[in-house]
């Protein structure tokens, strides 16, 4: 168990399921005095780790913390650098219109924004839609005006595990996360350089590969 880092709430969930299982998420939430939405990331992580299992109309039941569990081992050993895909990037000076064109041509859910080579923000389809219907002149407004700025962006490193990044995606309810490295250039400027991205699709593809094994 020492190698599986669980939160206090996740440990309480395990104890409840061990004693009461099979048990529904509603019942667990009631016993912990939290909402089902609050529990959702914890239950997803415990299920992906192979500690709990779930059956429709039955509930959650305890499987066990097993370091030899294939899914648990694979989730912890698979590194982000082995899974990441090519990020779609625009500069802060790009107009909202150009960014909308880019996001649809590339068929992606979000675009990462850079300033002088460093990650400075992220913009989603929802952000662009709000701008398009909000009366903005999307041909003139730079995307830097509407993006979510650093440091309010969830990031990942190449050495993060699949379980690390899956946890971030679930807990923060985002579609994708930029994979970055921190650098300091010779000109003295420093920040995060974008190397790739990890999305829900990347995670899903990894689970499909596991199922194939």
Q: How confident is the model at residue 204 (pLDDT cuts 50, 70, 90)?
A: confident
- Predicted confidence at residue 1, as pLDDT, reads 38
Please write down the long-range contacts of 203-206, taking CB distance under 8 Å and 24 or more positions apart: 203/83, 203/162, 203/165, 203/166, 203/169, 205/83, 206/78, 206/83, 206/162
Average pLDDT over residues 119-134: 89
Q: Which residues contact 21 (CB under 8 A, 6 or more apart)?
A: 59, 60, 61, 62
CATH of span 80-212: 3.10.580.10
Residue 57 zone, left/alpha/beta (φ > 0; ψ -120 to 50; rest): left
Greatest extent of the chain over all pairs of C-alpha atoms, in Å: 61
Can you say whether the dihedral through the CA atoms of 212, 75, 154, 29 is positive or negative? Answer: positive
Average pLDDT over residues 145-150: 92
CATH of span 8-77: 1.10.10.10
Q: CATH 3.10.580.10 occupies which residues in the chain?
A: 80-212
CB 4 within 8 A of CB 72: yes
- Predicted confidence at residue 111, as pLDDT, reads 94
Q: CATH 1.10.10.10 occupies which residues in the chain?
A: 8-77
- The residue among 33 and 204 whose pLDDT is bigger is 33
């Amino acid at each position: 168990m020492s190698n599986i880092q669980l939160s206090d709430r996740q440990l309480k969930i395990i104890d409840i399921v061990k004693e009461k299982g099979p048990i529904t998420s509603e019942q667990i939430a009631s016993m912990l005095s939290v909402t089902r939405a609050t529990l959702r990331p914890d239950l997803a992580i415990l299920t992906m780790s192979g500690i709990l299992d779930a059956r429709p109309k039955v509930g959650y039941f305890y499987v066990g913390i097993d370091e030899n569990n294939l899914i648990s081992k694979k989730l912890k050993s698979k590194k982000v650098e082995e899974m990441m895909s090519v990020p779609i990037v625009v500069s802060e000076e790009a107009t909202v219109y150009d960014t909308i064109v880019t996001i649809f041509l590339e068929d992606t859910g979000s675009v990462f924004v850079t300033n002088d080579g460093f990650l400075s923000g992220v913009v989603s389809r929802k952000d662009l839609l709000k701008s398009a219907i909000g009366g903005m002149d999307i041909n003139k407004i730079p995307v830097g005006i509407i993006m979510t700025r650093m440091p309010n962006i969830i990031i990942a490193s190449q050495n993060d595990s699949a379980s690390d990044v899956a946890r971030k995606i679930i807990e923060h309810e985002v579609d994708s996360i930029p994979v970055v490295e921190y650098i300091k250039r010779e000109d003295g400027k420093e920040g995060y350089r974008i190397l790739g991205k990890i999305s829900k699709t990347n995670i899903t593809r990894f689970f499909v590969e596991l199922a194939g094994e």
